[in-house]
Amino acid sequence: MTSPSAGNVPDRAPNVPDRARVVIIGGGVIGCSIAYHLAHAGWTDVVLLERDRLTSGTTWHAAGLMTCFGSTSETATGIRLYSRELYARLEEETGQATGFRPVGLIEAAADADRLEEYRRVATFQRHLGLDVEEISPREMAELFPWARTDDLLAGFHVAGDGRVNPVDLTTALAKGARQLGVRIVEGVTVTDVRTDRGEVRGVATTAGDVECEYVVNCAGMWARELGARNGLVIPNQAAEHYYLITDTIDGLGPDTPVFEDPAAYGYYREEGGGMMVGLFEPQAAPWQVEGIPADFSFGKIAPDWDRMAPFLERAMARVPVTLEAGVRTFFCGPESFTPDLAPAVGEAPGIRNYFVAAGMNSVGVLSAGGLGRVVAHWLTTGRPDVDVTGFNVDRFRPHQADDGYRAARTTEILGTVYAAHTPGKQLRSARNALLSPVHDRLVEQGGLLREVSGWEGADWFAGPWVAPVAEPTWGRAPWFAQWEAEHRTVREGVGLMDMSFMAKLRVRGADAGAVLDRVSAGAVNGAPETITYTQWLDHDGHLEADLTVTKLADDDFLVVASDTAHGHALAWLGRQVAVAGDVDVTVEDVTAEFAQLNLQGPRSRELLASLTTADLSTEAFGFRTARWIDVAGSRVLCARITYLGELGYELYVPAGDGLKVYDALQAAGAAYDLRPVGLKALSSLRLEKGYRDFGHDVDNTDCPLEVGLGFALALDKPGGFVGREAVLARREANAARGGMAQRLVQLRVLDPEPLLFHAEVVHRDGVPVGYVRAASYGWTVGSAVGLAFVAGGGAPVTADWLAAGSWEVDVAGTRWPVEVSLRPFYDPTSARVRA
């Protein structure tokens, strides 16, 4: 592969306008795709500013794979499928070749874990329209005879996948944008984004200021530093990324399929008659942690032969001919990665109309088409039309921008690109960033700790001073016994769970109640000491958050959201306060100021009553009551609420008193057989009850009616709420057709043997109608349970329609009978919750 000529930009007028509607910063494949799609959406008053030449940075040296296989995300799969389709037709539209060739992809499964994973992936992606087939090692050898396949278990062949030329593709997208009126200017550096009162006003550049309404930060490796100038957290970090290209090999040609063997760290494709061997080594090397040089464009990094030799040898051994051919090129260049291997996309928190599209994690080329469409739609309509909960830029927290954090995490995260995704695997680097006030007790009780949005949470407990041991597996593990015991202790007795990682926002001021009531779909501004479970919606009636709002006093509220929704809930509320104008409202993030200790189970009232003078009777302290009480000598906010489906209490304890209260609960709990309970039980308990989790089984594409949350909507409350009109219109349309076209349903496997995780395809009368969004084993109901989103294919999804069908779920190619229901399988009337 060759780069465009580097160096100083020749004499040319920058032609930078004084103003534009949108300024896109960065002329890589992502920036050019957004420009292209904005133009096709009718927004042509757009200027793209590139500091050097188009593709400088990382796009020019990308490997050029256009592969769709490998994801259990509907959003990611849709983005890739759209990209592939766009690249196939772009030359006809623009007259500029993209180099796209659907030569096919062969993905090797070298071990049992990968085979199980890929069978599950293949089933899911077939449902979404990807033509993928499982093939034998012999068939793999026929398609790609250079690889050694005798020790492989199977392969997965996608005939429509292939390769593309990144430079030509970017040029084609830029040309398509220009043809519709977008202005693209090279040789101009954006030095700052101008804002006023939390809204974009323009950009400062080396060629003067440009006034604008929207900015899109597509600065790639430089996105973090540019965003930081406006206080944004975009923690992408560059790392060394390697490939080599051999001398000519007989039989290789431009129509040779792409071959990938993640277990050998390698991908392989033809390049100029030789073989490109690309690497995703398990331990990577971050590059320029302190900041990317401003003048780095079409540059290379000096390769570290000593570090890379073992990985390179393993990759080349999969295709032995590469060991015999001479090496034409050994290339090392930077690619940027985020801490969770998901891109940083969306409107930045705190700055209206500042959008980000960066941190592509080495899949920028194959994602660019679809991602450009998504961002352009988001800009032009004000909302995304796909689930963005997993990659919204507002998910990042401040500690993730620290140099030490990024350096440590990047070393590990690059290797996960080709790692097997066996359940139970977790990241080990950059840990202990956020610790619960009772963290020491979790360790002492043998908690298997895992990262929970930067916090350390216990998955399950091995026992006091017992070191927990868990090997990742798709099957049953020895620790399932601990998981089951913790699950049952909540159903039958009382358990104590640390959930201090939950997002807690204190909202105060004379107008706090009115603003929250307008933002919330539920009626949250009623009597004090009341908890309201509610949703926040956008103007189209789709979910933005799923949380509780507790009214402590007329001017004092506590908002509690999940850890994954922390950043988004904070950002969304901030935007709504700003929209409200001159109001007396302050929002304070108090997450770290309170331990959250959840005491749950039928004996929770007895235990808590032994430590407080407060009257906890149902008459005095009913379901959804929240009140400051004394617990073991500390002032604690006690909320009678549950996410597990039992009588229970959430105790919000000042962080300094967290250990004292926890120990007191533990000591008093001995008489009630109290035991600590981890997050595996949280999952199994809530899914038996059918409780939703925003960002997992419900997301920003969902209407609350379709996901069973209509009961939480106060459609008739005075003043209405954001999204009310859209929900009412949808309800009327549903009534006219006799029911909803799609619904979130609870699912239970009839056989106790199979395990569900996520993305298993659901069949009705042999026809695929949806897939499982979230699942767990249900110890009380005796088999795997989950929440699945299903569509009627023209028929309304009603209880009768569900009952009339024969239902199955596909688990890695095997179908198992299931029952489905609109109501929870466990305690459908919630009698136990209100006991």
Question: Whole-angstrom Cα distance, residue 266 to residue 272?
Answer: 19
The answer to whether 593 and 560 are in contact (CB under 8 A) is: no
367 with 512, same domain: the answer is: no
What distance in Å separates the CA atoms of residue 522 and residue 507, rounded to the nearest whole number? 16
CB atoms within 10 A of CB 468: 19
pLDDT confidence of residue 8: 39
Q: How do residues 551-599 score in pLDDT, each as one tens digit?
A: 999 999 999 999 999 999 999 999 999 999 999 999 999 999 999 999 9
- pLDDT for position 522: 98
Report how far residue 125's alpha carbon sits from residue 768's, in angstroms, rounded to the nearest whole number.
Answer: 12
* Any domain includes 831: no
**CA–CA gap between residue 30 and residue 387 (Å, rounded):** 19
pLDDT at 14: 63
Residue 623 sits in the same domain as residue 745: no
The upper half-sphere exposure of residue 229, i.e. CA atoms within 13 Å in the direction of its Cβ, equals 14
Cβ proximity of 827 and 690 under 8 Å: no
Regarding whether 628 and 539 lie in a shared domain, the answer is yes
Residue 36 falls within a domain, yes or no? yes
Which residue is listed with tokens 């089984």? 697
Given a contact cutoff of 8 angstroms between Cβ atoms, the answer to whether 629 and 687 are in contact is no
State how beta strands 783-791 and 767-778 pair.
antiparallel
Largest CA distance in the chain: 85
Which value, in Å, is the radius of gyration of the alpha carbons in the chain?
27
Domain ends where: 628, 659, 677?
677
CB 703 within 8 A of CB 539: no
**C-alpha to C-alpha distance for 744 and 707, rounded to whole angstroms:** 5
Residue type, 454: G
Q: What's the pLDDT score for residue 406? A: 97
Q: What is the pLDDT of residues 697-711, one digit of tens each?
A: 999 999 999 999 999
Please report, for the domain that includes residue 590, its CATH number.
Answer: 3.30.1360.120
Q: Kind of pairing, strands 105-109 and 258-261?
A: parallel
| CB environment 740-766: b (16+ within 10 A), e (fewer) | bebbbbbbbbeeeebbbbbbbbbbbee
Q: Which domain, by its residues, includes 639?
A: 503-677
The answer to whether residues 195 and 262 touch, using CB atoms and an 8 Å cutoff, is no
Question: Strand 543-553 to strand 530-537: parallel, antiparallel, or no bridges (unpaired)?
Answer: antiparallel
> Could you give the CA distance from residue 755 to residue 476 in angstroms, rounded to a whole number?
8
**Alpha helices, DSSP H, located in 358-418:** 364-381, 403-413
User: Does residue 619 form part of some domain?
Assistant: yes
Distance CA 93, CA 238 (A): 34
Provide the CATH number for the domain around residue 801. 2.40.30.110
CB atoms within 10 A of CB 676: 27
Q: State which H helix or E strand residue 118 sits in.
A: helix 112-127
- pLDDT above 90: percentage of residues in the chain: 98
Pair (667, 759) in one structural domain: no
Residues of the chain with pLDDT under 70: 1-14
d(CA 496, CA 486): 10
| Burial readout 276-294 (b: 16 or more C-beta within 10 A, e: otherwise) | bbbbbbeebbbbebeebee
Write out the H or E segment, with its range, that includes residue 527.
none
Is residue 794 assigned to a domain?
yes
Same-domain check for residues 225 and 350: yes
End-to-end CA distance of the chain: 69
CA 625 to each of CA 145, 617, 637, 745: distance values in angstroms, whole numbers, following the listed order: 68, 11, 10, 29
Q: What pLDDT, on a 0 to 100 scale, did the predictor assign at position 305?
A: 85
Q: What is the DSSP letter of 11?
A: S
Q: Which two tokens stand for residue 670?
A: 């001995």
Tokens of residue 597, six digits = 């200790």
CATH code where residue 188 lies: 3.50.50.60
Residues 802 and 670 in one domain: no
Instruction: Encode pLDDT of 750-768 as tens digits.
Output: 999 999 999 999 999 999 9
Please name the amino acid found at residue 648.
Answer: G
Tell me, yes or no, whether 657 and 771 share the same domain: no
User: Does residue 195 share a domain with residue 51?
Assistant: yes
Rounded Cα distance, 491 and 689, in Å? 11
- Cβ-based neighbour number of residue 503 at 10 Å: 22
**Token code pair at residue 823:** 């109501």
Instruction: Supply 375's token pair.
Output: 């961002």
Residue 689: burial class (beta carbons within 10 Å; 0-12, 13-18, 19+): buried
Q: What is this structure's pTM?
A: 0.96
CB atoms < 10 A from the CB of 243, how many?
24
Residue type, 668: A
In a domain, 35, yes or no: yes
Is the same domain home to 673 and 742? no
Phi, psi for residue 307 in degrees, rounded to 5:
-70, -35
Angle between helices 364-381 and 74-94 (to 10 degrees): 90
Instruction: Report how far Cα 564 is from the mean position of its chain's Cα atoms.
Output: 9
Q: For residues 703 and 796, what is the distance between their CA atoms, to the nearest angstrom?
A: 16
Q: Is 541 helix (H, G, I), strand (E, B) or coil?
A: coil
Domain-embedded: residue 355: yes
Determine the Cα–Cα distance for residues 443 and 464; give it in Å rounded to an integer. 9
Can you tell me the distance from the alpha carbon of 345 to that of 387, in angstroms, rounded to the nearest whole number?
Answer: 12
Domain stop point among 677, 704, 730: 677
Last residue of a domain, one of 677, 703, 720: 677
User: By the 8 A CB rule, do 129 and 81 touch?
Assistant: yes
Look at residue 431 and tell me if it is in a domain: no
Find out whether 174 and 33 touch, Cβ atoms under 8 Å.
no
pLDDT at residue 5, as a whole number: 41
The dihedrals phi and psi of 805, each to the nearest 5 degrees, come to -100, 160
Burial of residue 815 (number of CB atoms within 10 Å: 0-12, 13-18, 19+): middle
CA dist 245 and 527 (Å) reads 70
Whether 79 is in a domain gets the answer no
- Record the tokens describing residue 62, joined without a space: 């990308």
Residues 662 and 776 in one domain: no
The pair of three-digit structure tokens given for residue 451, joined into one six-digit string: 């990262």
Say how far residue 311 (Cα) sits from the centre of its chain.
29
Element (H, E) at 123: helix 112-127
Cα–Cα distances (Å) from 49 to 32, 382, 685, in that order, read 10, 23, 52
Asked if 436 contacts 653 with a C-beta cutoff of 8 angstroms, the reply is no
Domains of the chain: total: 3
Alpha-carbon gap, residue 280 to 277, rounded angstroms:
10
Residue among 693, 594, 592, 680 at smallest CA distance from 638: 594
Task: Name the nearest CA neighbour of 736 among 728, 744, 746.
Answer: 728
Using the Cα atoms of residue 469, residue 470, residue 476 and residue 479 in order, give the sign of their dihedral: positive
How far apart CA 596 and CA 639 sit, in angstroms, is: 10
Backbone φ and ψ for 46, nearest 5 degrees, come out as -130, 135
Tell me, yes or no, whether 659 and 798 share the same domain: no
Both structure tokens of 394: 């507002």
Co-location of 620 and 750 in the same domain: no
